[in-house]
């Protein structure tokens, strides 16, 4: 119920306008978003790299409807890649195809996105294509496979364990030798395309994780769920899979303690660092994914309110 509510808010233009203009909203968002500029994103990536973490940077945005906006998004990624390379950060980039023009024209989309692929390949850098709602799943995989066949093997995909089709998609990725980020999924989907019960989503996650660790190419296991993390660790130890053959991935600002614990145990950890002005939908989906995030937000908002003295010890 709470998850569906926050996903609904992420799609509401009225709620977006209200939240983005609310006092203190940006300071609250900074828990989960590095900032609004490339410089702020790079500064966060720099600090994480110094702490021994790996990073993927995501310039926030989705569902772009004009070619100018889409080109500007790609241009931002080009500048971002140059900054990562110049500073020699242990970082790559993640992007959404709807931000690049997927809803405008497929030919335009390909030309726009391959500008980013080319720039990344020049610096031996990896690009991850984020997965969005089920309306885009097949289109995104088709785009990814076409790009791969054109020689863009520095590109990987995200697959979601709540999607019923994901086993066949993992099989395809493993056959290609493509890198997969496995996550649970953050959109409200109908029962015919997605598992609805947490137990089903978790069981699917574990099954797909085993496929990826056993037969995949350097997968990213993206979860903050300690049961999923423990299952991954147990499987890798049982099958004697080296710790440098995969990585755990977690969101910026979420379970920092767990990130540090895994790093201390010798596992590779990559932090997903978003930045940009379009932080509202991202923030709402983080609320949908983890109830603990909601309590953090409520507390922070109240601290900014006239009742803040109650939370500041005054």
Report the distance separating Cα 89 and Cα 253, nearest Å.
19
Residue in the structure block whose two tokens are 């996650």: 205
CB contact at 8 A, 158 and 140: no
- The per-residue DSSP string of 154-197 comes to TEEEEEETTBTTHHHHHHHHHHHT--EEEE---S---TTTB--S
Which among 83, 121, 130, 270 is annotated as catalytic?
Answer: 130
Report the distance separating Cα 258 and Cα 278, nearest Å.
27
Residue in the structure block whose two tokens are 């069981």: 203
Is 130 part of the annotated catalytic residue set?
A: yes
Buried b vs exposed e over 196-229: b needs ≥16 C-beta within 10 Å?
Answer: eeeeebbebbbebbbbbbeebbbbbbbbbbeebb
With residue 225 as reference, give the H or E element that holds it. none
Question: 102 to each of 97, 128, 163, 228, how far by Cα in Å?
Answer: 6, 16, 21, 32
Report the distance separating Cα 295 and Cα 305, nearest Å.
15
Is 181 part of the annotated catalytic residue set?
A: yes
Which among 83, 179, 181, 286 is annotated as catalytic?
Answer: 181
272: region left, alpha or beta (phi > 0 left; psi from -120 to 50 alpha): beta
DSSP for residue 251: E
Catalytic residues: 130, 181
């Amino acid at each position: 119920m709470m998850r569906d509510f926050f996903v609904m808010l992420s799609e509401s233009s009225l709620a977006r306008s209200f939240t983005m203009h609310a006092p203190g909203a940006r300071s609250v968002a900074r828990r989960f978003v590095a900032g609004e500029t490339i410089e702020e994103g790079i500064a966060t990536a720099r600090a994480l790299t110094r702490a021994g973490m790996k990073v993927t940077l995501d310039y926030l945005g989705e569902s772009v409807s004009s070619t100018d906006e889409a080109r500007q998004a790609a241009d931002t990624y080009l500048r971002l890649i140059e900054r990562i390379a110049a500073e020699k950060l242990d970082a790559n980039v993640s992007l959404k195809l709807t931000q690049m023009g997927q809803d405008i024209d497929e030919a335009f989309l390909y030309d726009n996105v391959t500008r980013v692929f080319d720039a990344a390949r020049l610096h031996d850098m990896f690009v991850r294509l984020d997965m969005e709602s089920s309306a885009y799943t097949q289109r995104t995989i088709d785009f990814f496979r076409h790009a791969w066949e054109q020689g863009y093997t520095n590109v990987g995909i995200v697959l979601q364990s709540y999607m019923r089709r994901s086993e066949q998609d993992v099989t395809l990725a493993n056959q290609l030798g493509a890198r997969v980020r496995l996550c649970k999924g953050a959109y409200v989907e109908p029962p015919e395309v997605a598992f609805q019960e947490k137990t089903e989503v978790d069981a699917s996650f574990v099954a797909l994780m085993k496929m990826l660790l056993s037969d995949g190419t350097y997968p990213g296991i993206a979860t903050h769920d300690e049961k999923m993390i423990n299952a991954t660790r147990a499987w890798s130890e049982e099958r004697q899979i080296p710790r440098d053959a995969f990585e755990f991935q977690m969101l910026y600002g979420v379970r920092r303690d767990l990130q540090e614990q895994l790093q201390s145990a010798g596992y590779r950890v990559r932090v997903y660092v978003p930045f940009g002005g379009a932080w509202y939908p991202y923030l709402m989906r983080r609320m949908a994914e983890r109830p603990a995030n909601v309590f953090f937000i409520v507390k922070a908002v109240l601290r900014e309110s006239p009742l803040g003295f109650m939370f500041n010890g005054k």
